[in-house]
Amino acid sequence: MNKREISEIKKQFKKDNNAITRICGCYVDAEKQIKTTLKEAFFALSEEEIFKYYEIFKKSLSGGIGKNLHNLEYSIHDEGPDSAHELLMKLRDEKLADDETVDTFYNKVIENYEYGENYYIILIHSAYDVPGKASDNEEMFDASEEVYNHILCCICPVKLSEPGLSYNEATNAIEERPRDWWVQTPMTGFLFPAFNDRSSDIHGVLYFSRNPEELHSEFIDACLGAPTPISFKSQKEAFQEILTDTLGEECDYEIVRQIHENLTELAEEHKEDEIPLTLTKPEVKDLLEKSGVEPERLEHFDKVYEEAAGENTAILVPAITGTGKFAVKTPDVDIKVNPDRLDLVETKFIGGRRCLVIAVEDNVEVNGMPVKMWEEQKEVQ
């Protein structure tokens, strides 16, 4: 799913839409014991509850694609009888109406989701009447193309509120505030099936993780049955390992700077894309060639790439570039440079020492204070 398709589903979570047919919930304590369950027609809830649930649902479809949101694809081997995929299909097709199927799903989550504190499992079924689109891309609500039947699952931490004082209107006094258990925004969730090309895709699922580095692979394997994605941090580490093992002693400042410049240029060219740019193994190799890596250093590139990332793994450019800043770090000094001004930093030998030379222009600050430029000196030879 791309940004536009995710946004289209998120727009359904508002007061004037009634696509959600049913909601089920299961509150689990830190000992993995079910404390209470919920099963209701969604619009039988109070208006205040509905509004709060909408906020939770929106959060489970938020964040960056490839960072917080992951498009997982099923292979033919993942969709057989008694598979996790088959259970998700049953939940969707039964519209969460069968208690046994819903309880089976709850138990799988409780068995495989490692958290250690209280949490609340939320399941909804929704039937979105997908509007057609005219040639000018405007929605035609009277020309529906299909009904997108899907389920959304959110796993929310439940924490005890902080102690404190509050005003009691009944007694007109400041009193101790009672502590209660507060359902927070989701830490994990998924949308099934995926909404690809504005249509149901039962061979895909959109997975959400609030913490990009806590993907809960056991949960994905047991409850979704799809391959676990590679985290942002792991992709960056894999790319760094590829560079280190490929370049060896040639991993010097100038080549790394050129690689970063080329990556930044690629990212800028694709910044309006609906899906973040990824680089496959041949594209990473091409990047290194364009950045000045000698051909003999690329002789074992394929093996290095497969060992670090996997043969068919594509690496997200945002995971490599991070914030976009070019950072140079020594044990005592950190330098961050705007990627558009890498020309300001050079390497030189001065007095027999290897040095990074930074061209300084106007508007210099030290600890946030503007300072006067020093008198112009003779250029260092």
Q: What is the mean pLDDT of the chain?
A: 88
Q: What gap in Å lies between CA 91 and CA 192, rounded to an integer?
A: 10
Per-residue model confidence as pLDDT tens digits over 38-97: 999 999 999 999 999 999 999 999 999 999 999 999 998 899 899 999 999 999 999 999
**pLDDT given for residue 125 in this prediction:** 97
- Give the CA radius of gyration of the chain: 26
Residues 6 or more apart in contact with residue 102 via CB below 8 angstroms: 24, 39, 91, 96, 123
User: Could you give the count of Cα atoms lying within 13 Å of 237 in the half-sphere of its Cβ?
Assistant: 7
Q: What gap in Å lies between CA 162 and CA 181, rounded to an integer?
A: 10
Instruction: Provide the residue ranges of all domains of the chain, joining segments of one domain with +.
Output: 3-228, 233-321, 327-370
- Which of 260, 377, 247 is closest to 322 using CA atoms? 260
- Which of 364, 275, 267, 366 is closest to 323 using CA atoms? 267
The mean per-residue pLDDT over the stretch 165-186 comes to: 92
- Which of 279, 303, 355 is closest to 66 using CA atoms? 279
**pLDDT given for residue 343 in this prediction:** 73
Ramachandran sector of residue 197 (left: φ over 0; alpha: ψ -120 to 50; beta: rest): left
Q: What gap in Å lies between CA 69 and CA 274, rounded to an integer?
A: 13
- Would you call 161 helix, strand, or coil by DSSP? coil
Per-residue model confidence as pLDDT tens digits over 308-349: 988 888 999 988 876 556 777 777 777 777 767 777 777 788
**pLDDT given for residue 354 in this prediction:** 77
How many residues does this entry show for the chain?
Answer: 381
Is residue 178 a contact partner of residue 172, using CB atoms and an 8 Å limit?
no
**pLDDT given for residue 90 in this prediction:** 97
- With a pLDDT cut of 90, the percent of the chain lying above it is 59
**pLDDT given for residue 375 in this prediction:** 58
Per-residue model confidence as pLDDT tens digits over 357-371: 887 776 777 767 777
Of the pLDDT bands very low, low, confident and very high (cuts 50, 70, 90), residue 379 is: low
Q: Which helix (H) or strand (E) holds 20?
A: strand 20-28
Residue 13 has pLDDT above 70, yes or no: yes
Is residue 184 a contact partner of residue 56, using CB atoms and an 8 Å limit?
no
